[in-house]
Structure 1
Amino acid sequence: MFAILVLCFVALAAAQQPQPCTSPPQWEANIFDYNQQQKFMVRGRLSYDAVYRRERIIEEVNFGSQGDAFDVIALFDSQTEYIYDFKARNCSRRRIERPWRDFGIPQGARSFGEAYIGSSAAPGLGLLVTLWGGNHTTPSNDTVRTFGTWTYQACIPVRFISHSERFGRTETSFFDVTAGISDPNVFIPRRECLTEKEYAMRDILFGKPSKQIQQQ
């Protein structure tokens, strides 16, 4: 009988362990991104697609007192990034060396509970969020420590902090998040970024990913 009670308590404790929610795989948001070690600050509008591992951001970038503006499309499955420079009015492409940033709750993350941004004293005065953190190792053997907050309802990212020896500390905040991708052509690079042949085939090359959307 005692053994049965012990097993029941163990099962109850396991059932009460917080479980991470699942963030929407595709969304758009205004973001503020800051990295102290690399001395840059980014403000922009991000289109984020975790299903096909791609993102587009129209951004203002500040390095100290210098400011620039870019339209960047990063296609991580093909390891290619297209960068349109608004000031120079030209486009370049390069191989992506950085790891994919997944803004969902990392696998194996530790729960730090729940909290209100603002106040819980009365309805409408605060936003209930969940807090998660942990460590993971990238394919390049770089250890990254992460901590973030997500809304209790819908699991929308609010703030995400990552730190590694290679990339330093990056803090990202999200505002005005909307679910889904508003423009299906948002991940097609500008004409200046493509050859004539690529531009003629842009809908096939960039507009129709081969993988099927995963059911959540």
Structure 2
Amino acid sequence: MIRLLAVLTCLLAGCSAQRPHPCSSPPLLSGALTVSTQNEKGWAYAQYLYDALGHRIRLKELGIYENKSFTYDALLLYRETTMYEIVDSNRTCNKRPLKTDFQPLGIPKTASLLGQAVLGSSSAPGEGILVNTWTGDLPGKAGKFMSTVTEFGCIPVSTVYHTDQFGWMTLSFFNNVIGITDPSQLNPPDFCPDPSTKDSTEEPADFLSFFLKKH
């Protein structure tokens, strides 16, 4: 009986609550995101497909760079170190080298917890969502990041990067859905160059510069 009372007291006191831990986002995600830059030269909205199992990302982007609007469609195949720039309207496709390693969504084990908060309201059930915010170093000490994910599911909410080259850059995720309804979108269209075809002579692309390139 004493042991049972001790357990109940512990639960009522909240001692069962655990400190948030680094986490991995679901391996298959789709949704939308916005990108903005510190210098305000660029802003973009993109629909995304994310496949951590095959190390593939598809981004269909609409944005503004230096007061000029653009559309952009890219398929990033990290295992093949290849990126395809796709234009469905005229069935053209440019194959470029991809120089960075695949970085899964989520929070790396080396990150530090900044805090926990409720987005929305905690006044009533369904009015808010519990999130955790973390900070750490980008791979290769290329800069700093601050990422917010949901406490349950580790769904990305926002990530802020800082690099010497680009300054601050913010990605905000929304309308996230676990799974991919059309996996064929993560394969190069039939009008794209064969994987064995020589890459273009352009500079190798990476994930951050993809959003900030001059379209």
TM-score by length of 2: 0.74
How many residues of Structure 1 are paired with residues of Structure 2 in the alignment?
A: 181
Instruction: Please state how far the C-alpha of 1:168 moved relative to its aligned partner.
Output: 2.7
Deviation string 1:145-200 (CA, Å, 9 cap, x unpaired) is 111111111110111111111343221111111111211211111233235999xx
Inter-CA distance 79–168: structure 2 relative to 1 (3 Å threshold): farther
Q: Is 1:147 aligned to residue 149 of structure 2?
A: no
Deviation string 1:89-124 (CA, Å, 9 cap, x unpaired) is 532111113453432112311012210111212222
Match of 1:208 in 2: none
Match of 1:161 in 2: 160
The farther-off stretch of 169-178 and 142-151 is 142-151
Q: Is 1:93 aligned to residue 92 of structure 2?
A: no
Inter-CA distance 137–30: structure 2 relative to 1 (3 Å threshold): closer
Inter-CA distance 105–183: structure 2 relative to 1 (3 Å threshold): same
The farther-off stretch of 156-165 and 94-103 is 94-103
Q: Separation in 2 of the partners of 1:96 and 1:196?
A: 13
Instruction: Please state how far the C-alpha of 1:40 moved relative to its aligned partner.
Output: 2.1
- Bigger relative CO (Cα 8 Å, ≥ 6 apart): 2
Unaligned runs of 5+ in 1: 1-14, 199-216
- Is contact 1:130–1:150 with CA below 8 Å preserved after alignment? yes
The percent of aligned pairs where both chains have the same amino acid is 32
Instruction: Please state how far the C-alpha of 1:87 moved relative to its aligned partner.
Output: 7.1
- Is contact 1:69–1:85 with CA below 8 Å preserved after alignment? no
Q: Separation in 1 of the partners of 2:182 and 2:18?
A: 41
Match of 2:76 in 1: 74
Inter-CA distance 85–67: structure 2 relative to 1 (3 Å threshold): farther
Q: Separation in 2 of the partners of 1:100 and 1:167?
A: 20
Instruction: Please state how far the C-alpha of 1:72 moved relative to its aligned partner.
Output: 0.7
Match of 2:59 in 1: 57
Match of 1:123 in 2: 125
Q: Separation in 1 of the partners of 2:101 and 2:42?
A: 18
Match of 1:39 in 2: 41
The farther-off stretch of 101-110 and 81-90 is 81-90
SS of aligned partner of 1:194: coil
Deviation string 1:40-79 (CA, Å, 9 cap, x unpaired) is 2221110011222210011113212111112210001111
Q: Separation in 2 of the partners of 1:191 and 1:38?
A: 37
SS of aligned partner of 1:186: helix
Unaligned runs of 5+ in 2: 1-16, 198-215
Query: Which amino acid is the alignment partner of residue 82 of structure 2?
Result: T
